[in-house]
Amino acid sequence: MVKLISYLLCCALVASCLSGCALIRNPFKSYAKAESKVAAVEKKIDQNQDQQVAQGRQYVFAEHLVLQADPATNQFHNLQEQFNDKALAVLGQPTMEEINSLKAMVANLLATNQVIIAKGQKALEDLDAKVIGLQSDKANLEKKLVAAQEKFDKVAKSNAGLAQKWANVMRFVWLAIYAVIFFVIARVVTMFLPPPYNALSAILSVPVTALTKFAHWIVPEAKALSAHIFAEFHKLTTPASDNKS
């Protein structure tokens, strides 16, 4: 059993080396990880954009409050108010907390007392700071997205190359299997041919012997394993009486 396991491990190691894939590295896991990272960054960008829209909605509503407080009633004012209402209809209304905060800010900015105006100006600066921070975060996220996309493309390209190498290895394996089947069938057939055609059996055994020696050279344990398997097979196929004799 130990020899069988060691032989299988050696075969797996050879196939791994031929395919260019390390046993400790899962290419499919690397691909999924790179893909999920791209998706995560894209999700953060979408969330950032939604937050910027929410902040922009507050500016539009603040404009709406200013237009309502403006006593002018000319055609320009009326047209501006119409467009402002349409913008709010598209963007939606702010939350109740935001509305109360915006009403206080606009009232402070329209006051005549400089101290009160300063409070309104501070609230407006805080609102601007949030927008600037979101825009900065979006710029950083876009850079991360570019890096994540480049890594994803690199992993995808590497996996494509790995898949091609593996396909080449499997093509070689199947060719080897077909060759062995062909030589075995041909050797059996030639054994039943009349002389001198039955001599082809010995000729066909030459490449089989060469392949066997090559396999023994690659995996030294293969010879011992094959002898062990043959012995076990002989025990199973030989009658008990023959074994005792």
Q: 3-state DSSP call for residue 91?
A: helix
Residue from 206, 201, 202, 203 nearest 185 by CA? 201
Amino acid symbol at 17? C
| DSSP, res 193 | S
Helix (H) or strand (E) holding 42: helix 27-69
Residue 220: is it exposed, middle or buried by C-beta count within 10 angstroms (0-12/13-18/19+)? exposed
Give tens-digit pLDDT for 37-68.
Answer: 999 999 999 999 999 999 999 999 999 999 98
Q: Which two tokens stand for residue 210?
A: 């060469």
Q: Which two tokens stand for residue 19?
A: 């395919």
Say how far apart CA 193 and CA 208 lie, in whole Å. 20
pLDDT in tens, the chain (245 residues): 444 444 444 555 555 554 444 444 556 677 788 889 999 999 999 999 999 999 999 999 999 999 989 888 888 988 999 999 999 999 998 999 999 999 999 999 999 999 999 999 999 999 999 999 999 999 999 999 999 999 888 887 777 766 666 666 677 777 777 777 777 777 677 667 777 766 666 666 666 666 666 655 655 555 555 556 556 555 655 555 444 44
Give tens-digit pLDDT for 6-22.
Answer: 444 455 555 555 444 44
Would you kindly state where each structural domain of the chain is located, as residue ranges?
Answer: 27-155
Residue 137: is it exposed, middle or buried by C-beta count within 10 angstroms (0-12/13-18/19+)? middle
CB contact set of 131 (below 8 Å; sequence gap of 6+): 52, 55, 56
Amino acid symbol at 82? Q
